[in-house]
Amino acid sequence: MEIVQDKLKISIAYTLKERTGKILEEVPANFPFVYIHGYNNIIPGLEDALNGRRLNESFSVDIPFEQGYGPYRPDLVMEVPKDELREVGEIWLGMELEMFMDDDVREFQLPETPDEFVDGLNLDDDDESDGIYTIKEIKKDTVIVDGNHPFAGKDLTFDVTVVAIEQPSFTELESGFPESEENFDNGFDDLDGEDFDSDSPNRRWR
């Protein structure tokens, strides 16, 4: 298989930069990001740019925030009482939690699976407040959490190389995620908020 298309397992190496040239993330070819193409598990602008690319092809693409991580939404920053996080256990700056809202009752927990995590990223333009929230500040009785992706509101440039194109297994097609996806192998019990370094297995995508 030589061409990127839907329902194939794609491995990419990339350098992610702001339009100013500041590097935000580097993923080398020996530790690529792996995903199933066509399942909306990466940002729309990048998935569109990858469609039809060939194995070992390198390219650069500019992605406006509308096709990336969306606008920065102040309404996704909130202050919550520490009592609401009792079930979570120990908390720390940069910790990422999944929030559910049901009849005006909030519930926070650790995401358990990759699909919950990706689905929870607030990448759309609707008014839903459910999603992944990062702890930004810990006060005496309250905690400031931010539901925006760290790259929200940023126009980005990806320098990408297609490292591998493979046929996924039946299980991978059913789940939409590679069976051995290292991006999620370590689970969510050790997220520290610095998960965009190239040597971290916990990159939160996309």
pLDDT in tens, 78-128: 999 999 998 888 999 999 999 887 777 788 888 765 454 444 444 444 445
- Give the DSSP letter of residue 54: B
CATH, range 9-69+151-168: 3.10.50.40
pLDDT of residue 127: 45
SS3 label, residue 82: helix
- Provide the token pair at 204: 């939160």
Alpha-carbon gap, residue 204 to 206, rounded angstroms: 6
Q: How far apart are CA 206 and CA 198, in angstroms?
A: 15
What is residue 171's predicted lDDT score, i.e. its pLDDT? 94
> What's this model's pTM, rounded to 2 decimal places?
0.73
Cβ-Cβ contacts under 8 Å for 38 (sequence gap 6 or more): 5, 6, 7, 47
Q: What is the pLDDT of residue 112?
A: 67
Q: Which CATH class is domain 74-146?
A: mainly beta
Whole-number Å distance between alpha carbons of 180 and 172: 9
Which residues of the chain are modeled with pLDDT < 50?
114, 116-127, 181-206
CATH 3.10.50.40 spans which residues of the chain?
9-69+151-168
What pLDDT was estimated at residue 190? 36
C-alpha neighbours within 13 Å on the C-beta side of residue 89 = 4
At 1 the pLDDT is 79
Burial of 170 (0-12, 13-18, 19+ CB in 10 A): exposed
In the chain, CATH 2.40.10.330 sits at 74-146
Cβ-contact 58, 158 below 8 angstroms: no
| CA gap 151, 67 in Å, rounded | 12
